[in-house]
Structure 1
Amino acid sequence: MKPVEQQTLFLSVQELIENAKRNVIRNVNSVLVTTYFQIGRMIVEDEQEGAAHAQYGVQTIKKLSSHLTMHFGRGYSVDNLENMRAFYLAYSKSETVSRIFENSNSNYETPSRNLSEVLKLSWSHYVSLLKIKNADERRFYELEAEKGNWSLRELQRQVNSSYYERLALSRDKDGVRKLAQEGQLLEKPTDILKSPVILEFLDLKEDNRYSENDLETAIINKLEHFMLELGKGFLFEGRQRRISLDGDHFWIDLVFYNRLLNCFLLIDLKIGRLTHQDIGQMQMYVNYYDRKIKKADERPTIGIVLCKEDNKAVVEFTLPLNNEQIFSKEYKLYFPSKEELKKQLL
């Protein structure tokens, strides 16, 4: 066998084993989650038959924890059993899960296979999601974690950065409701907008002096994180893209392409307060790309001025009322207060 053929064989066998390992982990996780859901169901149904529900439930969970720990070791603490109980109470109310139990008999094992098709995340993901009290918000993060294959760390970052509230700020009531039902869908330019954009992963401090070049370099160094913050479907096209007009040269800080929206997205970075000159410059960039770069079957170019401090009045009176291409967005180098964002939603 030739060395090239050997290498092909080795890589094929390696890929097969790695896929098998992933499937094992996925299957183990699925069994664990559905088992914990069933345990939660048993605890709740047992409580309902008790005389004094609250006290009865507390004592039962303590005794059950001791019993299971003695037989199976770690993993069945009182806190974890409480999480299983809360897990069942939160997710049994969903329409899909309710239908599974309606179509099953009283045997607890019967719906497990169907449950695994609905409860797709890891137990750690669900424990984290249970901390979110708002059912719509929790469902949104569940959908996004499933579709984006988020790690637990990425899920926690998105929750901490108020991803749901920041998207909801740019939508009407129907749009907010749709977030909870379907997650983030990119159908029009405004679907990608968040207020503000959170760049805590750049490790730039608010009280330090930094230039626009420092900001751009930090973004390039953490490009994967930045693209996750932008949203879905983004491809990096380049930095400092030059535009030449009658001997004058201009540079666009960052250029992306979004394969879901089928359009270019231009980003200009500003470390100060937004000015009308910033908007005008972006308008020129967008016009150039629309007339010289984009193809006939592509959607109009989107331009975003990412600034330290927005100026809504300047945006309102610089751009036309029907503007759907140019936007200004603040960035923050720290997680905002969820309470402040929620107040803006009211």
Structure 2
Amino acid sequence: MNSDLSYQNFIGRISALLNNSRNKIINTVNQTMVLTYFEIGKMIVEEELKGKERADYGRQLIPLLSKKLTQDFGKGFSETNIKQMRSFYNSFSKRQTLSDEFNLSWSHYLKLMRIDDERERNFYEIESSKNNWSLRELQRQYDSALYTRLSLSRNKAQILELSTKGQIFERPKDAIKDPYILEFLGLHDDTTYSENDLEQKLIDKLEHFLLELGTGFTFVARQNRISFDEKHFKIDLVFYNRVLKCFVLIDLKIGELKHQDIGQMQMYVNYYDREVKLSDENKTIGIILCQDKSEAVVQYTLPENNEQIFASKYATVLPSKEKLKQLIEDLNTKGWL
């Protein structure tokens, strides 16, 4: 028996080594290919600029190049692909971001090239690299307008920082989104469901919910019971954020947020700060997820220097980016930003 276990461990270590080497080779090949396409795009743009006075030459350059490269190197050099290489260079030639080494796949960059706003494009490139997002995850974060949602709680200087550094966690508020997009639950606006139903759906789709919460979140507990003075309370969901080094409590509310809900969350946060968190951990964060809220109720219920309690809307369908941008304008008009 011990011999079998030793052998299996031996095989496992060799398999891990081979898989690690294979992944490194794939990453190196991808990075080399992307850099090569960037250089090809650069050469095409420079050649077109040289021949800008010869209109016929400019029109024929890509078709001729496509034909010759296909003859010499095989598939992958259609006119469409070569135009994408040119667009790739035009889109990324001026960037000054953390991802200057082209750490993503060519498929990622094809997606990023379709984002017109340069700041938004830089943000998604940085976050994809930092968080190792698959193409599908990148698509989902873009479809849910992550950049726009994070911009809601930031001033102009902080929005600019998003495009140069990505999402940086320096204070609790940096980890908060408003709204949270929960389209992966399969619930629709006209669906009738309870808070328990919503909680169960989130647990069933925990991997998706963690992606939506953002960097550093780990799941701790659901329906976490706390008791004092023979009174018992249950916190819907408890997470821990490894970057902020603090507990994050989430309470789910159907309908409009009430000031009593905020008071209840304040009690939960106080309890965790005094009874659960360790001395080297930061203060607990509380997030109330609700369908609707009055910004005035939130503002006047919480103290002016609040850094622990946050109320965010959630949506069970993907809103349009136009709707989110309108929300930003409304908040600016009301003075919330």
TM-score category (smaller protein): over 0.9
Number of the residue aligned with 1:152: 135
TM-score under structure 1 length normalisation: 0.90
Number of the residue aligned with 1:108: none
Q: Supply the RMSD in Å over aligned alpha carbons.
A: 1.9
Paired-residue identity, %: 55
- 1:142 matched to 2:125: yes
Number of the residue aligned with 2:334: none
Query: C-alpha distance in 2, partners of 1:193/1:134?
Result: 23
- Write the mapping of 1:320-339 to structure 2, written as runs, cut at 5 A: 320-339=303-322
Query: C-alpha distance in 1, partners of 2:57/2:290?
Result: 56
Name which of structure 1's ranges 129-138 and 68-77 shifts more when overlaid on structure 2: 68-77
- 1:264 matched to 2:232: no
SS in 2 for 1:240: strand
Query: C-alpha distance in 2, partners of 1:323/1:55?
Result: 65
Number of the residue aligned with 1:102: none
Q: Cα deviation per residue 1:153-205 (whole Å; 9 max; x = unaligned)?
A: 10111111111111111111121111111111111110011121011111112
For 1:133, which of 116, 136, 149 is the aligned residue? 116
Query: C-alpha distance in 2, partners of 1:39/1:336?
Result: 38
Q: Cα deviation per residue 1:21-72 (whole Å; 9 max; x = unaligned)?
A: 1122112111211111111011111101114477643431122223323333
Alignment check: 8 A CA contact 1:38 1:88 kept: yes
- Write the mapping of 1:34-73 to structure 2, written as runs, cut at 5 A: 34-52=35-53, 56-73=57-74
Query: C-alpha distance in 1, partners of 2:188/2:116?
Result: 32
SS in 2 for 1:206: coil
- The residue identity in structure 1 corresponding to 2:16 is E
- Write the mapping of 1:178-189 to structure 2, written as runs, cut at 5 A: 178-189=161-172
Query: C-alpha distance in 2, partners of 1:138/1:49?
Result: 29
Alignment check: 8 A CA contact 2:96 2:164 kept: no
Q: Residues 59 and 219 (structure 1 numbering): CA distance in 2 closer, same or farther, change over 3 Å? A: same
- The residue identity in structure 2 corresponding to 1:134 is D
- The residue identity in structure 2 corresponding to 1:76 is F
Name which of structure 1's ranges 75-84 and 145-154 shifts more when overlaid on structure 2: 75-84
Query: C-alpha distance in 1, partners of 2:55/2:318?
Result: 37
Number of the residue aligned with 1:307: 290
Query: C-alpha distance in 1, partners of 2:88/2:9?
Result: 46
- 1:280 matched to 2:281: no
Q: Cα deviation per residue 1:272-326 (whole Å; 9 max; x = unaligned)?
A: 1111121111111111111111122221111111011122121112111111111
For 2:160, which of 145, 169, 177 is the aligned residue? 177
Name which of structure 1's ranges 229-238 and 289-298 shifts more when overlaid on structure 2: 289-298
Number of the residue aligned with 2:333: none
Query: C-alpha distance in 2, partners of 1:139/1:298?
Result: 32
- Write the mapping of 1:199-218 to structure 2, written as runs, cut at 5 A: 199-218=182-201
